[in-house]
Chain A
Amino acid sequence: MQNFTYHAPASLAEALALKNEDDAGTRFLAGGTDLFLAMEFAGEPVKTVVDLKKIPELTGIEELPGGGYRLGALTLMGQIEAHQGLRAQYPALVDAATVVGGPPIRNRATLGGNICNASPAADASTPLLALGAELVAVSAEGERSLPLGDFWSGPRQNALKPGELLKEVRLPALPEGGACAFERLTRSAMDIAVVNAAAAVSLDDAGNFASAQAALGAVGPVVLTVDGLGDALRGQPCSPEILEQVRKLAEAAAQPIDDKRASAEYRRDMAGVLAMRAVERAQLLARQGKGDEK
């Protein structure tokens, strides 16, 4: 690894000023579970590393007054895993955080790093997309928010502008009668996903879908949304025919490639199956939430 200068500023302003001095040559460091190896193997020309871990504004998990949550960019996978409030409302996110590496990785890996690293197989990113998360980015000029769906433009490419960093993630409140679920397929427990999928649905009083969103990981250059799902499901019961439609829409949304983990064809098939399972399980959880189990 090339040598670099290391800074661990205690304030956001200082971190942003350091990044502004030489944007291209500077990397922000969160848990380092992606960056360390990227610097080791890709030989990325990094001159300056700015460690974010001492900046208080980037930490914390808080429920928002109108519902929903604010998660600081430095939130650890292990903190999400242990958070009872998140588990009750957003099991899709908690389940995804729980499968990131082993315990020592989850004690370092941050949510912000998972998102900014922009890997198409980033597990925690898939439920966030299905849940319609918003990001708050900050630069010396101030803050701006953007939908997570607009954040990734390709593998390892995100929409942060020079001098900007990711401050926090905002999870919207689930709609009335809403629930979510996460599904993942790997070759072995510790490997990264061959495909992952997450769904967020809500049901109306008759028990039919009122809304539905799903996202797929590892089947395209970025984590993808399943287009047209809400329109196809609205007002419909969760029947085998409707789940078949979920499968078709997910297969159509997938843009998989062949690699050492799986062929494109297998990935597309599994995207369909996992999306179907995620929608079905989210729908079941929504029903249980309404108190009419089965």
Chain B
Amino acid sequence: MKSSVKLTVNGLEQEHQAEPRTSLLTFLREQCGLTGSKRGCEEGECGGCSVLLDGELVTSCLIFAVEAQGAQLVTVEGLGTPHHLSPLQEAFATDGASQCGFCIPGMLLAATNLLERNPDPNEQDIRKAISGNLCRCTGYDLIVAAISMAAELKKGARG
């Protein structure tokens, strides 16, 4: 029943055997060993499993890995490294936007996707962009502030 699923994750080709019923989330975590995408509700509600699939923010728990055959994926592991944080990761860390951290990978991908499309978002744009991501700790305000700080940082970097 298994077949080969080949896709690109964070610029690297990944090819593994998977059953059709295997979710993209399970494929990423268990076959690719990328555990940054979180298994929360597995019902599309919490956004912890969010990834960018061909540039679109999606919940990987509701997608079969076979559906992503040939696709380009970005997970939180592709955003930055501990020594080279992305501007968003930098802002989240500086601003204290992360508490337990469980929601943060999904938040970062939602925010990355927002800033790619809208480099100068207002608070409402930010709240809308993360409206599919639940956080049980922070009350969202520091997350919203961090995203807006990152937008400023990026603007500064552009000159």
A interface residues, Cβ below 8 angstroms from B: 1-6, 8, 29, 32-33, 36-37, 39-40, 49, 51, 53, 78, 101-105, 107-108, 189-190
A17 vs B128: C-alpha distance in the bound complex, in angstroms? 42
A2 vs B110: C-alpha distance in the bound complex, in angstroms? 32
A105 vs B42: C-alpha distance in the bound complex, in angstroms? 13
Known: A32-B64, A104-B44. Is A6-B20 also a contact (CB below 8 A)?
Answer: yes
Q: Would A102 and B131 count as touching, CB distance under 8 A? A: yes
A104 vs B110: C-alpha distance in the bound complex, in angstroms? 9
Known: A33-B44, A102-B47. Is A6-B58 also a contact (CB below 8 A)?
Answer: no
Closest to A6 in B: B20
Q: Which residues of B contact A2 (CB under 8 A)?
A: 21
A49 vs B20: C-alpha distance in the bound complex, in angstroms? 9
Q: Which residues of A contact B42 (CB under 8 A)?
A: 40
Q: Would B44 and A103 count as touching, CB distance under 8 A? A: no
Q: Would A105 and B64 count as touching, CB distance under 8 A? A: no
Q: In the complex, what's the smallest C-beta–C-beta distance from B124 to chain A, in angstroms?
A: 13
Q: Would A107 and B20 count as touching, CB distance under 8 A? A: no
Q: In the complex, what's the smallest C-beta–C-beta distance from A36 to chain B, in angstroms?
A: 5
A36 vs B43: C-alpha distance in the bound complex, in angstroms? 9
Q: Would B64 and A103 count as touching, CB distance under 8 A? A: no
In the complex, 23 of the A-B residue pairs with CB atoms within 8 angstroms, ordered by the A residue number, are: A3-B19, A3-B21, A4-B20, A6-B20, A6-B66, A36-B23, A36-B62, A36-B63, A36-B64, A37-B43, A39-B21, A40-B42, A53-B67, A101-B44, A102-B132, A102-B133, A103-B110, A103-B129, A103-B131, A104-B50, A104-B59, A108-B59, A190-B131
Q: Which residues of A contact B15 (CB under 8 A)?
A: none
Judge whether B45 is part of the interface by a CB distance below 8 angstroms. Answer: yes
- In B1-47, the 8 Å CB interface with A consists of 1, 3, 19-21, 23, 42-45, 47
A2 vs B42: C-alpha distance in the bound complex, in angstroms? 17
Q: Would B44 and A107 count as touching, CB distance under 8 A? A: no
Q: Which residues of B contact A78 (CB under 8 A)?
A: 56
Interface centre among B3, B67, B129 (most CB of A within 10 A): B67
Q: In the complex, what's the smallest C-beta–C-beta distance from A250 to chain B, in angstroms?
A: 29
Q: Would B67 and A32 count as touching, CB distance under 8 A? A: yes
Q: Which residues of A contact B43 (CB under 8 A)?
A: 37
Q: Which residues of B contact A32 (CB under 8 A)?
A: 62-64, 67
A33 vs B64: C-alpha distance in the bound complex, in angstroms? 11
Q: Would B133 and A108 count as touching, CB distance under 8 A? A: no
Q: In the complex, what's the smallest C-beta–C-beta distance from B73 to chain A, in angstroms?
A: 14
Q: Which residues of B contact A49 (CB under 8 A)?
A: 20, 64
A36 vs B132: C-alpha distance in the bound complex, in angstroms? 18
Q: Mark B60-73, 1 if CB is under 8 A from A, else 0.
A: 00111011010000
Known: A53-B67, A102-B47, A190-B45. Is A107-B58 also a contact (CB below 8 A)?
Answer: yes
- B20's partner among A5, A37, A104 (CB-CB below 8 A) is A5
Known: A1-B21, A6-B20, A33-B44. Is A105-B59 also a contact (CB below 8 A)?
Answer: yes
A36 vs B128: C-alpha distance in the bound complex, in angstroms? 25
Q: Which residues of A contact B56 (CB under 8 A)?
A: 78, 107
